[in-house]
Amino acid sequence: MMGAGELAAIAALGNPGAEYQMTRHNVGFWVADALAARSGVRFRSERKLHGELARVTIANHPVPILKPMTYMNESGRSVGAFCAYQKLNLEGLLVIHDDLDLPLGTVRLKRGGGHGGHNG
């Protein structure tokens, strides 16, 4: 079990479908796929979560990763179901998404906060 403030789960945001695969909106999916490949696991469809789920190991801890298969602006439905299913304390949830205010490839880590004008 992880302590307060430690990484418990990842929600990696993006849009489903081949037409969106290489768009910056899918940066969350890119990171999730890289983590899964590094751990040698695959995502599987989880209908009740409206997404795909994989369990990776980070720093010797199992960490579930969700890729919502809703579109970006509907991702809250999937992430909400994921949090309920995992019984998550939101402080342990890392959300990976694009930020149009930052150049592509720039990473910003932020604890807490709201939607920042994002519709998802």
Catalytic residue (choose from 25, 50, 97, 115): 25
CATH fold label, 9-96: Rossmann fold (3.40.50)
Tell me whether residue 115 is one of the annotated catalytic residues: no
Under DSSP, is residue 27 helix (H, G, I), strand (E, B) or coil? helix
Each residue's pLDDT tens digit, 2-43: 454 588 999 999 999 999 999 988 999 999 999 999 999 999
Each residue's pLDDT tens digit, 80-105: 999 999 999 888 899 999 888 888 78
CA distance 69 to 62: 22
Each residue's pLDDT tens digit, 50-70: 999 999 999 999 999 999 999
Q: Per-residue confidence at 1, pLDDT binned at 50, 70, 90?
A: very low
Q: What are the residue boundaries of the structural domains of the chain, listed by start?
A: 9-96
Q: What is the pTM of this model?
A: 0.85
Q: CA-CA distances (angstroms) from residue 47 to 4, 15, 67, 93, 94?
A: 29, 16, 12, 20, 21
